């Protein structure tokens, strides 16, 4: 059950992400009537996401992958909520600047989710064998990849793009709640941090641990 909760967090978040992308593409194309703006927004989102993802490993190692996932999902929920509010309250005066900022933030902050998720897989308590765990994870990604766009299309066409952003915001909050309930092996994380700290201590000075020299010990012994 613990591992299913772990997968469920990412599953819900992935569905929300699919809904969000459909709503975003729809509102950009219908508002500007060209795919150039869509291409530019997607490029900026992926660009900032790639930059953040290159540095996400250090963040995950320092602050624990579970904490990073909970905090990241909450931040994404707030940003997507602002996006939904702006799209719903001002449909005819939809702010391009607000939209662009939200898109970039979602792309950048969201880039830490996947690395943090996979850093926790082996530490989740009650995890099945590796092959089973991988098949469940891949299956959840495949199913969410189908459900997200379908739900996003229905909501966007019937209620408007704002609802797609709102669903995305709710999915992030639910994902954060589920991840907070997941039990992980903290001992493995503590060992990893201790090992890195030990390596740093040994490397102080000339950058290499001091080697033990038997001949030098013999030379220093009293005659």
User: Which residue is it, tokens 């700290």?
Assistant: 197
Question: Looking at residues 96-104, what average pLDDT do you find?
Answer: 80
Question: What was the pLDDT predicted at 92?
Answer: 65
pLDDT, averaged across the chain:
80
Lowest-confidence region among 20-34, 83-97, 109-123, 175-189: 83-97
Kindly tell me the sign of the dihedral angle through the C-alpha atoms of 198, 203, 208, 211. Answer: negative
Whether the per-residue pLDDT at 166 is higher than 90: the answer is yes
Average pLDDT over residues 129-156: 92
Instruction: Return the closest-CA partner of residue 27 out of 124, 152, 142.
Output: 152
Specify the CATH architecture of the domain 2-185: Up-down Bundle (1.20)
pLDDT at 141: 92
- Confidence at residue 152, expressed as pLDDT on a 0 to 100 scale: 93
Sequence ranges of the domains in the chain: 2-185
What does the pLDDT read at residue 78? Answer: 93
pLDDT, tens digit (0-9, with 9 covering 90-100), for 51-82: 887 777 776 777 778 888 999 999 999 999 98
Share of the chain above pLDDT 70, in %: 79
Would you say residue 188 has pLDDT above 80?
no
Find out whether 125 and 2 touch, Cβ atoms under 8 Å.
Answer: yes
What pLDDT is recorded for position 85? 87
The pLDDT of residue 146: 95
- In Å, how far from its chain's centre is CA 211? 42
- Note the pLDDT of residue 67: 87
pTM of the full predicted structure? 0.76
Instruction: Write down the pLDDT at residue 201.
Output: 56
- Compute the 3-state secondary structure of the chain and give helix, strand, coil in percent, each to the nearest 5: 85, 0, 15
């Amino acid at each position: 059950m613990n591992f299913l909760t772990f997968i469920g967090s990412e599953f819900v978040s992935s569905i929300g992400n699919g809904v969000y992308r459909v709503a975003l593409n729809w509102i950009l194309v219908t508002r500007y009537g060209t795919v150039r703006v869509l291409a530019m927004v997607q490029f900026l989102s992926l660009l900032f996401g790639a930059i953040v993802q290159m540095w996400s490993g250090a963040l995950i190692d320092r602050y624990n992958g579970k904490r990073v996932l909970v905090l990241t999902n909450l931040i994404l929920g707030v940003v997507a909520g602002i996006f939904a509010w702006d799209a719903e309250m001002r449909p005819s005066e939809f702010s391009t600047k607000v939209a662009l900022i939200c898109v970039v933030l979602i792309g950048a902050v969201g880039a830490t989710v996947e690395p943090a998720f996979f850093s926790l897989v082996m530490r989740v308590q009650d995890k099945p064998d590796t092959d089973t765990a991988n098949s469940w994870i891949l299956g959840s990604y495949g199913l969410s990849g189908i459900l997200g766009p379908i739900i996003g299309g229905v909501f966007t066409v019937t209620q408007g793009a704002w609802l797609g952003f709102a669903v995305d915001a709710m999915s992030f909050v639910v994902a954060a709640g589920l991840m907070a309930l997941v039990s992980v092996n903290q001992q493995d994380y503590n060992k990893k941090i201790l090992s890195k700290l030990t390596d740093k201590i040994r490397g102080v000075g000339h950058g290499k641990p001091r080697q033990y020299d038997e001949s030098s010990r013999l030379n220093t012994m009293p005659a």
